[in-house]
Amino acid sequence: MDRNKKFSGLLVLVSENKNVDTSGLNIDNRNLEIHNKSYTQYLFSLFLEFCNETVMIDDLTNLAKFLPKKKDVVVFSIWSGAKSRNRMMLVPAICESLNIPYIGADSYAKTICQDKFISRIFAKRMGFEVPNAALIEKISDLEIIDWILFPIIVKPNMEGTSIGVRLFQKGMVAQAKSAIKTMFDLYDKSILVEEFIPGKEISILVYGTSEKPEILGAVELINTTDSEYFYNNIASYQGKRKLYKQGHIKRVDISHTIKQHIYDIAKKTFSCFGKMDFLRIDGRLDGDNFTFIEFSPLPNFKPFGQIATLLDNDKNKIQDFAYTLLKYNINQTQLPNTQDT
């Protein structure tokens, strides 16, 4: 990384900073969404490379008390929160109420990304193909799934990190309805039922500003022993964990294979969100046809993750990219001492 690139202010990293043992957790456990303490420490060291000072805060009440006392500050949050559909929107809302710059999407954009049913509407309006789906908000709605072509995916409407996601093959209508009944009270009575789309499991990464979106690239998640794996399976938490333990899964850069019109829709989508900085668009690719699955506005800098894959797993390039996202959020009137020479 260019050592002349330096933020002279304070970077506040918001994270639970917990050690979470996910080995024994089932797919309905919300702790799956919490970033492990080791990742928090990795981010801490990453930002220290170009920030004059970095602090970590693990409680939002403390964050709200801490920020007004500081100058030249930017916030980056990986905080997952408690059992609340609003948990991802809280940190940007606190920052905006205090006029504090922050990296990432604003509360409105995060709301759209968190709500999978609304995400589908937004994506379709932008020009993406979307699977047939129905939102189950009361038990009497269960008969709706009789009209959806199996296989189907059943998932909580307001969760992430593959929490609660289940695949049901043809002939498993009764099992699907039983699972929805079980999930109903766990997930705020909002369950999305979606047609399964066979294809390559890919992510398109976009960054920049609403005025100038940029494509970072596209990444495919592959099973190294079965090239057709995701034509019959979903990228579930348990499935990915098993493949990782077996050493049978990896990410590859497929940026050059994506048609320009798909990138154009991705950039249009990014711009229409407003305050965003970074957006991951997950979907299935079958031939040249891309079908949207979900949005994720949180950049993940983990080694061998999507961003790292597109940056050759080069730590200096990853630091440069993190610094780029930071720069988008530096308001010179608020942070006059920021420098990039």
Nearest CA-CA partner of 273 in 131, 132, 130, 125: 125
- pLDDT of amino acid 341: 39
Q: pLDDT band at residue 237, thresholds of 50, 70 and 90?
A: low
DSSP string, 203-254: EEEEEE-SSSEEEEEEEEEEETT-TTGGGT----HHHHHHHHHHT-EEEEE-
* pTM, rounded to two decimals: 0.91
pLDDT at 329 over 60: yes
Domain ranges of the chain: 5-104, 112-128+198-296, 133-195
Question: Which range has highest mean pLDDT (83-97, 230-244, 275-289)?
Answer: 275-289
Farthest-apart Cα atoms in the chain, separation: 64
- Work out the average pLDDT over 3-11: 82
Give the length of the chain.
Answer: 341
CATH fold for the domain made of 5-104: Rossmann fold (3.40.50)
pLDDT at 164 over 80: no
Domain 133-195 has CATH 3.40.50.720: no
Domain 112-128+198-296 has CATH 3.30.470.20: yes
Which residues are within 8 A (CB) of 175 and not within 5 positions of it... i.e. 6 or more apart?
168
- Work out the average pLDDT over 208-219: 96
Q: For the segment 147-158, what is each residue's pLDDT rounded down to a tens digit?
A: 888 999 999 888
